[in-house]
Amino acid sequence: MKELYKCKGFELASLLKKKEVSSKEILQSFINQIEKKEKFLSSYITLDLENALKKAEELDIKRIKGEDLSFLAGIPVAVKDNISTKGLLTTCGSKMLCNYIPVYDAFAVKCLKESEMIILGKTNMDEFAMGSTGENSYFGVTKNPRDIKKVAGGSSSGSAAAILSGEAPFSLGTDTGGSIRLPASYCGIVGLKPTYGAVSRNGLIPFASGYDVIGPMGRCVKDVSLLSQIIYKYDNKDMTCKNFNFDFSNLENYSLKGKKIAVIKELFNSNIISSDVLEKVNKALKIIENMGGIIEEISLPEIKDALWVYYIISSAQASSNLSKYDGIRFGFHPDEDSDIEKIRTNAFGTEVKRRIILGTYILSSSQYEKYYQRAVNMQNQLIEKLDKIFDKFDFIITPTSPRTAHEISEKVNNKNIYDEDICTVFASVTGIPSISLPCGVDSSDMPVGIEISSKKFSDHILLKMANALEKEIGFDNDIV
Amino acid sequence: MEYDIRIGLEVHCELNTKSKMFCSCKNSFGDSPNENCCPVCTGLPGALPSLNKEAVKKAIKTGLALNCQINNNTYLDRKNYFYPDLPKAYQISQFYEPICQNGYLEILDNDIIKKIRIKEIHFEEDAGKLIHDRYDDLTLIDYNRCGVPLIEIVTMPDIENINQAKEFLDGIKLLLKYIGVSECKMEQGMLRCDVNVSVMEKGSETLGNRLEMKNINSFSAAIKAIEYEAKRQIEELRKGNKIISQTRKWDSINEKSVLMRDKEESADYRFFKEPDIPFIEIDDKIISEIKREIPILPFERFLTYTKKYNLSKDDAMTLIRDKEKSDFFDKCVLINNNYKIISNKIINDFAKISPEEFCRVIDFVNEGRISNSSVGKIFQEMEKNNISASDALDNLGLNQINDENYIEEIIKTVLEENEKAVEDFKNGKKNAVGFLIGQCMIKSKGKLNPQILNSMIYKIIEKGE
Ligand SMILES: [Zn+2]
């Protein structure tokens, strides 16, 4: 038998079910891997291994007693550090919250606990989820397990790196403008950004409330689908959460025959996307055609506008969401003499401050119409446009990222860094579900991600499509 | 030079919902500090607001009572500012699309009906309370009030004098109580008000620069603030000075206004739609359901009482100020048209009895069966024992007719109808009088005072000779 940490999540679950291994053995295998890898990778900010071991032992006893357990009961999971965990440090990757311990669990965490998954710890991330590389964390840069000189992608950097390195079989990430999909793509794993409103945001520490979503990450589509079943639940404490009945039960036997797939001309026929990435994505499109899918090029010039819509609205909302961090009631407060200005200057990183300043300016009464109001109007137009596209098409396919993972600190001072999000933000601003799965490696052996999006609340169908495609692509994403 | 004043008012009213605006914490006053708190109302990271439907309904009800248009597709906005009593660093409020717009409240200014236009009614949530003086060098925060639902009723600058301002504030307070949306306890801060005052040359069409005074915590202080500010501005103008738009603070101890900030330094609240709360769609069905719950309002009652029932203004207002009494009056006048007596008795001797029984007592007074002064006693007896008017008369021994005129009339009728018995009596048949007394008792259903009857019947027979 191969080592447990090398197994996919669903394989571990069946081994447990067949009682061939115990939860404790599984957990121990991942802990060993964490001890080996963590010093190079910084996937985690906080580990909670003692509690995890206790929980695993409890579950093994339950299993021996023959208690009815959910499919993923006793399987470890890592949680991004902007998702509140009761009694467990939750920092958002920021010095500002370096000592913040929530008094309540996020709804998604409650779901994990109800399914009796075992939380390993809290994963590293760009500060307050602002960033696409994983470099903006107060707790250090997350390295790409495939090449530790390279970034893991962000902002859910740790949640992606932990999966690829065998430090966790499952993880929760969050996606505001691509923060699940980009690191999934950079690390060669699978990450799903759910429909906005399909998964409760309750307890997710907000960056941009109108876009933030919690989503599942894993080695394969099947794992992501299994974790989806646990977190896609209605929560009346989140007014933007809709009560929708998703059917994740039947992932297999989905035929792409006759399914219509749109590719966006403005992305594919431009120099935005690197040739390496384009080649791999085009290869995947060929595979889809061979499977009977009908690929059609469409024009969506607004895809470029989506970028500024995203940066305007997300920065504005962030400036409001982050203004409560003043060190008065919780968070960083070094000494009695520290006033709010000192604390905020000291405890926020550069990127966070940049966006707070930008967002504050955007919302000022003299600029509101010019920026925020216009961005909202543009967003509504884009939503309408996509609705029309989905009247005709089942899926939209793009690369996940214009380029593969780059060297750490390579682009830090490059203002085009926001362009990394060009393929992901259109799904964020329109609220549609979008998944990234690996479709090959580039010339430097770094994974390329393909991104598939579908209409709102069709997440379960999107997973079926991705699952079918994943099998045909046959990408080998063994633990590195 | 003579001057006109224009006054605009912004009344902040705490709604009497069971729970707070965005969480299930209790909305109550006077509990121990920070007892009614949770992650939502203390603004802990990641906590989300869930809108209290009862608050929405109460805001709609207020809007309908003030003749407003209800916004079918409204939403909430964030008002961003820092203050230690505001844990989210923004207040969930309304700026772009207030829930109610374009209404009015009618008031009476020296017998003339005046409409004060309502610009809008919008939602707000209350902030926590800072306690500065309990410990040296320490400011404490009580978040119990944080997130309590508020509505802000904003008038147009239609109010022209102090009396109108008084009438408006009294009227709005009474109306809010009538529709049951707020307890209106001023001493508990449930009603607060901001005041705008501007002064202009008499007859001028353009308003002078507006001066705002914020957070005045009693209506009497608001009136004083208006008086002070109007006088101050007129004096400034007479001196040839200009009035600049300012926000001033009312110092209720020294009874004067002091400068808070000039308009130039006014805060930019960076309003934008609250992304955590979807659009609030209000369909016409809900609006008409709420409309049905609105009782006849104080101003309309006042007009009816004074015009239709001819009550004095004071009596009308005394009734109206107590909705229970006013409602009772309305029921009584449907069964009995002695409006003045009814109003009098309700004002002076009100008891919890049925309007029907109440009116029966009024009838007894009119029939002379009881005196005016025993009404209160009778009401109390009825309320205490939950009995009918005539049972109460029995219990109190008031059921006898002592009225000599009334008794005399009965005797005379009986004597006329029984000439033979009278004849017999005169012929020495002394016991014939017993028959006559019996006849009187039958006629009065046994209610005549026997002693009076006895002594009177002899006198009348003898006088009749
Ligand atoms: Zn609360």
Interface check for B218 against chain A (CB to CB < 8 A): the answer is no
Q: Residue written as tokens 């543009």?
A: A378
Q: What is the pLDDT of residues B386-437, one digit of tens each?
A: 998 888 888 887 777 777 888 888 898 898 898 888 888 888 888 888 888 8
H or E segment at B423?
helix B419-426
Strand A143-144 to strand A260-264: parallel, antiparallel, or no bridges (unpaired)? unpaired
- Specify if B295 maps to a domain: no
Q: What is the pLDDT of residues A222-263, one digit of tens each?
A: 999 999 999 999 999 999 999 999 999 999 999 999 999 999
- Sort strands A118-123 and A76-80 into parallel, antiparallel or unpaired: parallel
Residue B440 belongs to a domain with what CATH number?
A: 1.10.10.410
Q: Is B450 on the interface with A (CB under 8 A)?
A: no
Interface touch B270/A320, C-beta < 8 Å: yes
| Among the listed residues B84, B402, B118, B395, the one whose alpha carbon sits nearest the alpha carbon of residue A323 | B84
- Residue A286 a catalytic site member: no
* Chain A residues whose beta carbon lies within 8 Å of the beta carbon of residue B37: none
Q: How many domains does chain B have?
A: 3
* CA angle, residues A192, A194, A198, in degrees to nearest 5: 150
Q: Is B82 on the interface with A (CB under 8 A)?
A: yes
Query: Is B268 in the same domain as B346?
Result: no
Summarize the confidence of residues B177-182 as an average pLDDT.
Answer: 96
Beta bridge partners of B107: B114
Contact at 8 Å (CB) between A72 and A9? yes
**Nearest-neighbour CA in chain B from A201: distance (Å):** 8
Question: Which whole number is the average pLDDT over B1-14?
Answer: 93
Residue B302, both tokens: 């006042």
- CB–CB of A368 and B272 under 8 A? yes
CB contact under 8 A, B48 and A237: yes
Q: How far is Cα B83 from Cα B98, in angstroms, rounded to an integer?
A: 24
Residue B299 resides in a domain: no
- Are residue B100 and residue B239 in the same domain, yes or no? yes
pLDDT tens per residue, range B99-113: 999 999 999 998 899
Cα–Cα distance between B254 and A32 in angstroms, integer?
73
pLDDT at B465 exceeding the cut of 60: no
Q: What is the pLDDT of residue A105?
A: 98
pLDDT surpassing 60 at residue A364: yes
Residue of B56, B272, B273, B281 to mutate for A, most A C-beta atoms under 10 A: B272
Residue B64 has pLDDT above 90, yes or no: yes
For residues B176 and B116, state if they share a domain.
yes
Contact B38, A76 (CB under 8 A): no
pLDDT, average across residues A271-295? 95
Shared domain check, B251 and B340: no
pLDDT band at residue B158 under the 50/70/90 scheme: very high
Going by pLDDT thresholds of 50, 70 and 90, the confidence category of residue B143 is: very high
Structural domain contains residue B7: yes
pLDDT reported for residue A124:
98
Answer positive or negative: Cα dihedral of B366, B371, B375, B381.
negative
**What pLDDT does A146 receive?**
96
- Looking at the predicted structure, is the pLDDT value of residue A413 above 80? no
For chain B, say whether A286 makes contact (Cβ under 8 Å). no
Task: Quote the tokens at residue B258.
Answer: 């002091």
Question: Catalytic annotation on A434?
Answer: no
Q: Which residues of B touch A206 (CB under 8 A)?
A: 45-46
Alpha carbon B2 to its chain's center: 36
Nearest chain B residue (CA) to A328: B84
Contact assignment for A328 to B84 by CB distance below 8 Å = yes
Distance from CA of A108 to the nearest CA of B (A): 12
Task: Determine the distance separating the centroid of ligand 1 and the alpha carbon of A105, expressed in angstroms.
Answer: 16
pLDDT digits (tens, 9 = 90+) for A197-232: 999 999 999 999 999 999 999 999 999 999 999 999
Total-model pTM? 0.90
Summarize pLDDT for A59-95 with one digit per residue, the tens.
999 999 999 999 999 999 999 999 999 999 999 999 9
The answer to whether the bond into A155 is cis (omega within 30° of 0) is yes
Q: Is A363 in Cβ contact with B44 (below 8 Å)?
A: no
Domain boundary among B366, B396, B426: B396
Give yes or no for residue A288 having a pLDDT over 70. yes
* Cβ A166 vs Cβ A5: under 8 Å: yes
Task: State whether B275 and A328 contact (CB < 8 Å).
Answer: no
The CA-CA-CA angle for residues B317, B322, B327, to 5°, reads 95
Between the CA of B42 and the centroid of ligand 1 the distance, in Å, is 7
pLDDT of residue B368: 67
The reply to whether A103 touches chain B by the CB within 8 Å rule is: yes
Beta-carbon separation of A203 and B47 below 8 A: yes
Q: How far is B54 from chain A (nearest CA, A)?
A: 16
Tell me how far the alpha carbon of residue A468 lies from the centroid of ligand 1, in angstroms: 46
A156/B contact by beta carbon, under 8 A: no
Say how many Å lie between the CA of residue B58 and the centre of ligand 1: 20
Average pLDDT along chain A: 95
Both tokens of B356, joined, read 């029907």
Q: Which residues of A fall within a CB distance of 8 Å from B89?
A: 320, 323-324, 326
A155 in active site: yes
**Active-site residue, selected from the candidate residues A22, A115, A155, A200:** A155
Domain carrying residue B346: 305-396
Is pLDDT above 90 for B294? yes
Among partner residues B39, B47, B90, which is closest to A320 by beta-carbon distance?
B90
Are B58 and B137 in the same domain?
A: yes
Are B255 and B124 found together in one domain?
A: yes
Q: Cα distance from B50 to chain A (closest Cα, Å)?
A: 6
Contact B49 A104 (CB under 8 A): no
The architecture (CATH level 2) of A4-253 comes to Alpha-Beta Complex (3.90)
Dump the DSSP string for B317-356.
HHHHHSHHHHHHHHHHHHH---HHHHHHHHHHH--S--HH
Is A239's CB within 8 Å of B49's CB?
Answer: yes
Task: Please indicate, yes or no, whether residues B115 and B231 belong to a single structural domain of this protein.
Answer: yes
User: 310-329 in B: which are within 8 Å (CB) of A?
Assistant: none
Shortest Cα distance from A365 to chain B (angstroms)? 6
Within this chain, do residues B331 and B457 fall inside the same structural domain, yes or no?
no
Measured in angstroms, how far is the CA atom of residue B73 from the centroid of ligand 1?
Answer: 26
Which run of H or of E encompasses B287? helix B284-292
pLDDT of residue B266: 65
Q: Please state, in angstroms and rounded to a whole number, the distance separating the CA atoms of residues B382 and B364.
A: 14
Mutation target for B interface from A172, A324, A343: give the one with most B CBs within 10 A.
A324
Q: How many pairs of residues across A and B have Cβ atoms under 8 Å apart?
A: 93
One domain, residues B315 and B212:
no
- A19-61 tens-digit pLDDT: 999 999 999 999 999 999 999 999 999 999 999 999 999 999 9
At residue B119, the pLDDT reads 98
Q: Would you say residue B452 lies in a domain?
A: yes
Tell me how far the alpha carbon of residue B32 lies from the centroid of ligand 1, in angstroms: 15
Q: Considering only the beta carbons, identify the residue of B45, B268, B278 that sits closest to A240.
A: B278
* Residue type at B54 in one-letter notation: E
pLDDT of residue A415: 53
Is residue A476 scored above 90 in pLDDT? no
Question: Do the beta carbons of residue B36 and residue B144 sit within 8 Å?
Answer: yes
pLDDT band at B263 (very low <50, low <70, confident <90, very high): low
Q: Are residues B284 and B239 in the same domain?
A: yes
CA of B274 to the centre of ligand 1 (A): 18
Rounded CA gap, A423 and A310, in Å? 12
pLDDT value of position A64 = 94
Strands B129-135 and B138-142: antiparallel
Mean pLDDT of the region A84-113: 98
Residue B203 contacts A where some CB pair is shorter than 8 Å: no
Cβ of A239 within 8 Å of Cβ of B271? The answer is: no
Task: Find, in chain A, the residue whose alpha carbon is nearest to that of B273.
Answer: A317
On whether any CB of chain A is under 8 Å from the CB of B305, the answer is: no
Last-in-domain residue among B226, B257, B290: B290
Of the residues A80, A280, A456, A464, which is catalytic? A80
Tell me if chain A has a CB within 8 Å of the CB of B275.
Answer: yes
- Residue B229 forms part of a structural domain: yes
Q: Indicate whether B198 and B335 sit together in one domain.
A: no
Q: Kindly give the residue spans of alpha helices, DSSP state H, lying in B83-218.
A: 162-178
Domain assignments of chain A as residue spans, ordered by start:
4-253
Domain check: are B101 and B235 in the same one?
yes
pLDDT for position B265:
61
**Tokens (6 digits) for B411:** 């005797």
